[in-house]
Amino acid sequence: MKKLCLGIVLFSLSLPALATSSMKATVNGMVCAFCAQGIEKRLSKMPEAKAVLVDLKRRFVVVEPKEGMSLDEKLIAAEIKDAGYDVVSVEIVSKSVAEIRAETGAKAGAKK
């Protein structure tokens, strides 16, 4: 019984490590594929970024961190604003870029 309890505790402690926490920003001002490409290229250059998804139709940007790294909400917002767009909100989502891309049917970008 002790082994079973220990196993459950260890498994539950490993669950947060399995979940991916990406940053999702809602962005105003993106009107064309060139806008989306510019934002994606800019955010992909961040050393913490593993993957970036820009959904022009739904007006959001998702940045997934590299393993063992974290993302800075203010830095992401600043990069988007510096590119000339308005950031409406930034939130943490517990999905990877690949999962969100699959859900939304968005096309794959330059950095996956």
Task: Give the pLDDT of residue 1.
Answer: 52
Task: Report CA dihedral (111, 89, 69, 19) to the nearest 10 degrees.
Answer: -90
pLDDT(112) > 70: no
Averaged pLDDT, 57-80: 96
Asked if residue 112 belongs to a domain, the reply is no
Asked if residue 42 belongs to a domain, the reply is yes
Asked if residue 14 belongs to a domain, the reply is no
In this predicted model, what pLDDT tens digit does every residue of 14-30 receive, in sequence order? Answer: 444 445 799 999 999 99
Asked if residue 78 belongs to a domain, the reply is yes
Total number of domains in the chain: 1
- Residue 42: domain span: 19-104
Asked if residue 9 belongs to a domain, the reply is no
CATH number at residue 55: 3.30.70.100
Asked if residue 89 belongs to a domain, the reply is yes
Report which of 51, 52, 71 is spatially closest to residue 60, judged by C-alpha positions: 52
Q: What is the pTM of this model?
A: 0.77
Tell the residue number behind the tokens 């988007």, with chain if given: 80
In this predicted model, what pLDDT tens digit does every residue of 95-105 receive, in sequence order? Answer: 999 999 999 88
Residues 43/76, Cβ–Cβ less than 8 Å: yes
